[in-house]
Structure 1
Amino acid sequence: MNRMRNAALAGAMAMAWALPTQAEQLIYGFQAEQLEYRQGDGEDSFVWDFDALIGTDEQKLVWRSEGERVQGAGGFETLENQLRLQFPVSTFFDAVVGIQASTPDGLPDRYNAVLGLKGLAPQWFEIDADLYLSDNSFFRFEGEYEAMLTNRLILTPNLELTVPLQDDLAYDQAAGGATIEAGLRLSYDLIDRAVSPYIGVNYERSYGGTADLIRAAGDENGTFSVVFGTKLMF
C-alpha cells in the first residue's frame, strides 16, 4: 500500500506543477475503465485500470494506474503507474509522452520512458498505442469499442496486445513473444455514464518465447475469467 500512496503523492505533485499559467479553462476528471473482481480457474483477483487527469484542451497531465492483486496471495501480481502528458496532434488524436513504473511484488522494478498516440480511429474505435523505452523495451496496443444496445445497455469488446522488444527473463518475457488479452463486458449505465456496473469475460494468453518461459516456470499459459465490476467516470 505504501507504493500506491507514494505513486498517488507523486501524481498529485506533478499535476499541481502542470496547472495552466494563463487564463485557460481548467478541466479535470477520473475514469475507471476496469474496476473488477475476476473469478478464474482456482485463482481469483481484483483488477483496476483508471486514469485521473487535469489540464486544458491543449495540454493534459494524466495519472494512469493498472494492477492486479491475487486473492489470498498477499501481494500485487502486476502494479503499473504512469505519468503521461497529452497534447492534440489532430482532431481525433493526442500524442503522449511520459514515464512508467512497474513495481509488482516479488519482481525487480522496471522504469520506462513512454511515447504514444491515443484517440479515436474510424468507426469510433478507441485506441492507445504506446512504446515503452528502457533496457527492457516493449510495445503495447489497446483498443475497445462501445456498442450501444440501448440508451443504457452497452456491450464493450476490448483487446490488449503487448510485444516485448527485448528479453526480460525476470518477467518471463521473450523478445517478440506477444501476450494478448481480450475481453467482452456488458454494462448498464445506472447513473448516466458516471456509474456503470458490468459483467463479462476475460482471456489472456502468451505466444512464442514468452509462452515457453511461462511453461518452463510451471505456470499456466491461457487464463479465462468471469468478471464482475463497475465503470466510473466523473
Structure 2
Amino acid sequence: MKRLAILLLAASCATSAAAQQHGAHPMPAPEPRPAPTETADPHAEHKAHAPAPDAHAGHAMEIMPGHAPAPPAPPVAPPPAAALSGPSHAADAIYGPREMEPARRIFRKEHGAITASQVLIDRLETNVRDGRDGYAWDAQAWHGGDIDRLWLKSEGEGAFGHSPERAEIQALWSHAIDPWFNLQAGLRHDFRPDPERTHIVLGIQGLAPYWFEVDGALFLSDKGDLTARFEAEYDQRITQKLILQPNVEFDLAAQDAPEIGIGSGLSRAEAGLRLRYQFVPEFAPYVGVRYERAFGDTADFRRAAGEDVGGWSLALGLRAWF
C-alpha cells in the first residue's frame, strides 16, 4: 500500500510540472489568412430572376385530415343540342324501334309488370266451446300486378247443424298507394244474417310498422247503414317453422240496425292466439284459443234472441295458400 501511495504521489507531481512548463511558454496566436480574391460573376445580373429552390422538391406532400382540396365545381352550362337530337332509346339508333319494342315490353314485365295471383285460406277452423261447437273461415284471393289487383274476400262463422250466423263475400279493386299499403274499393254482400245486405266498401290494407298486417274498411249498406271493421295480426316466429299469431278484430256501427241484430257503437270484438307449425309455407295446421263478445245494444239483441253474448273457445284449424 505504501508503494502504491508513493507511485500516485510521483505521478501527480510530474503532471503539475508539465503544466507549469507549458504555462511559462505561451503559444503564438495563429496568423490571419488573407481573404479570397472575389472575381466578377458574369451571371450576377441574372441571379435575381432565378426561381428559389423548392425545399420540398422530390417529396410527396400528404393531405392532412380536414384539409382536402375542394372538388371542382360542376358544369352549369346546359347539355349541347346534339345530346338531345337522338332517339329516346339509344338502341333504336342501331336496331330500330320496331325490333326493340318487343324487348322493352319483356323488360317492363320482368321488372314489375308481372301478372300473378294467390289464394290464401288464413283460417279454416273448428271452434270447441261449452255447449255448442262451431266453425269459422277467413279467406282471400287476389289477381293482378304490383300496382292494381282484383281482390276477393270471404269470412263467416256458425254452429254445426245450423245455418251460418255470419257469411259475407267482398269483391274489391286494389291500388297501391305506397310500397306498404293498398287502397281498396268495391262491394260486399252479406248472405247472413237475414235479411241480406249489400254494401259499398272503401278500405285500406297493408303492412304497418313492426310487421303488423292490418285491414280496415268502411261499409255503407243499401239501407243506409254505416259500419266499420278493423283487423290486425302479427306473426311471431319462435322457430323457422313454429309461428305464434295473435290477432284482433273490431266491428263498429254508426246506428242501430235491430233487424240484423247490430247496435250502434262498438258492436263486436274478437281476439285470438294461434300457434301453427309450417310443414311447408303453403301448409300449416294450428291450435289456439279465441275470445268473442258482443257489446252494447248488439249484446242486448243477442240476449233477446236467446243467443250467447260471447265467450272462450278452443280453435283447431289449418292455414294454407297456393
- Please confirm whether the aligned pair reaches a TM-score higher than 0.5, indicating the same fold: yes
Corresponding residue for residue 95 of structure 1: 183
Q: CA deviation at 1:177?
A: 3.6
Q: CA deviation at 1:46?
A: 2.0
Corresponding residue for residue 84 of structure 2: none
Q: How does 1:96-175 map to 2 (within 5 A)?
A: 96-104=184-192, 107-134=194-221, 135-175=224-264
User: Matched residue of 1:76: which SS?
Assistant: coil
Instruction: Name the CA distance, whole Å, in 2 between partners of 1:210 and 1:68.
Output: 17
Q: CA deviation at 1:189?
A: 0.4
State the one-letter code of the partner of 1:157.
P
Q: CA deviation at 1:60?
A: 0.6
Instruction: Name the CA distance, whole Å, in 2 between partners of 1:110 and 1:41.
Output: 31
User: Matched residue of 1:232: which SS?
Assistant: strand
Kindly indicate whether residue 299 of structure 2 is the aligned counterpart of residue 207 of structure 1: no
State the identity as a percent.
Answer: 37
The 8 Å contact of residues 250 and 266 in structure 2, kept in 1 or not, is answered as: no
Q: What is the Cα-based RMSD across aligned positions, in Å?
A: 1.4
User: Matched residue of 1:178: which SS?
Assistant: strand
State the one-letter code of the partner of 1:173.
I
The 8 Å contact of residues 262 and 298 in structure 2, kept in 1 or not, is answered as: yes
State the one-letter code of the partner of 1:137.
L
User: Matched residue of 1:91: which SS?
Assistant: coil
How many residues align structurally?
Answer: 210
Which segment is superposed worse, 35-44 or 211-220? 211-220
One of 131, 154, 159 as aligned partner of 1:42 = 131
Instruction: Name the CA distance, whole Å, in 2 between partners of 1:43 and 1:136.
Output: 31
Corresponding residue for residue 164 of structure 2: 76
Q: CA deviation at 1:62?
A: 0.8
Higher relative contact order (CA 8 A, sep 6+): 1
Corresponding residue for residue 216 of structure 1: 304
Instruction: Name the CA distance, whole Å, in 1 between partners of 2:183 and 2:245.
Output: 24
Name the structure with the higher helix share: 2
Corresponding residue for residue 282 of structure 2: 194
The 8 Å contact of residues 196 and 232 in structure 1, kept in 2 or not, is answered as: yes
Instruction: Name the CA distance, whole Å, in 2 between partners of 1:151 and 1:99.
Output: 38
The 8 Å contact of residues 276 and 285 in structure 2, kept in 1 or not, is answered as: yes
Instruction: Name the CA distance, whole Å, in 2 between partners of 1:228 and 1:61.
Output: 30
Instruction: Name the CA distance, whole Å, in 2 between partners of 1:159 and 1:174.
Output: 20
Q: Which has the larger radius of gyration?
A: 2
The 8 Å contact of residues 208 and 214 in structure 2, kept in 1 or not, is answered as: yes
Gaps of 5+ in 2: 1-107
Q: How does 1:17-32 map to 2 (within 5 A)?
A: 24-32=113-121
Instruction: Name the CA distance, whole Å, in 2 between partners of 1:176 and 1:84.
Output: 26
User: Normalization by structure 2: what TM-score?
Assistant: 0.63
Instruction: Name the CA distance, whole Å, in 2 between partners of 1:179 and 1:46.
Output: 18
Structure 1's consecutive aligned runs of 4 or more residues displaced over 3 angstroms after TM superposition are none
State the one-letter code of the partner of 1:37.
T
Q: CA deviation at 1:152?
A: 0.5
